[in-house]
């Protein structure tokens, strides 16, 4: 709703503003990084030793995991740190609205939160409280929006991460088969390491849904 006084200096472009601003939180991001670090520790330290059953598969899985981690790390950092495509304010807001009204244009593309003129492909994120070009959604696992600048890096990260979890699952299966077939008196750690890895995979798996 637009309310104008006779001199066009007192304007209200909306009926109300949010009672409380929602802010970004780094805790989900930090938790995800911690769980991923624990996964790498268990996988590369705890489960590295057993390779009696299908040793060639064991070696190929670990080589593949190194490549995937090499893709996961930089693409994740880019998705987290890049500006997703936030629109910058280029005009004085009162002048912008006055100009639109004088020309008889509608105000559908005016964002009253950022006080800017939006593009047709942008959307306002209620968490970051900014308009983002080609906005997809706000992802808590990167504590950032997905937009025109970082969406492609997030997709590469996501695909690499799914493949990484698949490699871990195959290695857990191979590891347990190795323990059951080739060790008549397995140690407790031979069961604890893969169990811990499975628990960590389950905890960190929801990232593939964002």
Give catalytic residue positions: 139
Contact between 88 and 114 (Cβ < 8 Å): no
Beta strands 130-133 and 138-139: pairing type? unpaired
8 A C-beta contact, residue 168 and residue 200: no
Which stretches of the chain are assigned E, i.e. beta strand?
3-4, 11-12, 110-111, 116-117, 122-125, 130-133, 138-139, 144-145
Apex 87 CA angle, 85 and 88, nearest 5:
125
Q: What is the CA radius of gyration of the chain?
A: 25
Give strand pairing partners of 11: 4
For the stretch 199-203, contacts whose Cβ atoms lie closer than 8 Å and that sit 24 or more positions apart, written own/partner, are: 200/35, 200/38, 200/39, 200/42, 201/39, 201/165, 201/168, 201/169, 203/35
201 phi, psi to nearest 5 deg: -65, -45
């Amino acid at each position: 709703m637009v309310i104008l006084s006779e001199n066009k200096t007192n304007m209200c472009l909306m009926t109300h503003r949010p009672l409380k601003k929602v802010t970004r939180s780094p805790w989900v991001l930090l938790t995800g990084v911690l769980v991923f670090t624990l996964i790498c520790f268990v996988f590369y330290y705890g489960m590295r030793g057993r390779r009696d059953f299908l040793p060639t598969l064991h070696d190929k899985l670990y080589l593949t995991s190194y490549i995937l981690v090499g893709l996961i790390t930089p693409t994740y950092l880019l998705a987290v740190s890049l500006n997703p495509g936030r629109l910058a304010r280029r005009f004085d807001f009162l002048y912008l609205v006055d100009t639109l009204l004088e020309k008889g244009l509608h105000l559908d593309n005016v964002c009253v939160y950022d006080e800017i003129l939006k593009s047709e492909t942008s959307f306002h994120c209620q968490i970051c409280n900014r308009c983002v070009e080609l906005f997809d959604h706000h992802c808590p696992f990167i504590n950032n929006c997905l937009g025109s600048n970082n969406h492609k890096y997030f997709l590469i990260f996501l695909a690499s991460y799914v493949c990484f979890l698949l490699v871990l699952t195959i290695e857990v299966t191979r590891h347990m088969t190795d323990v059951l077939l080739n060790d008549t008196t397995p140690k407790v750690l031979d069961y604890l390491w893969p169990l811990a890895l499975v628990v960590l995979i389950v905890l960190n798996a929801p990232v593939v849904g964002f």
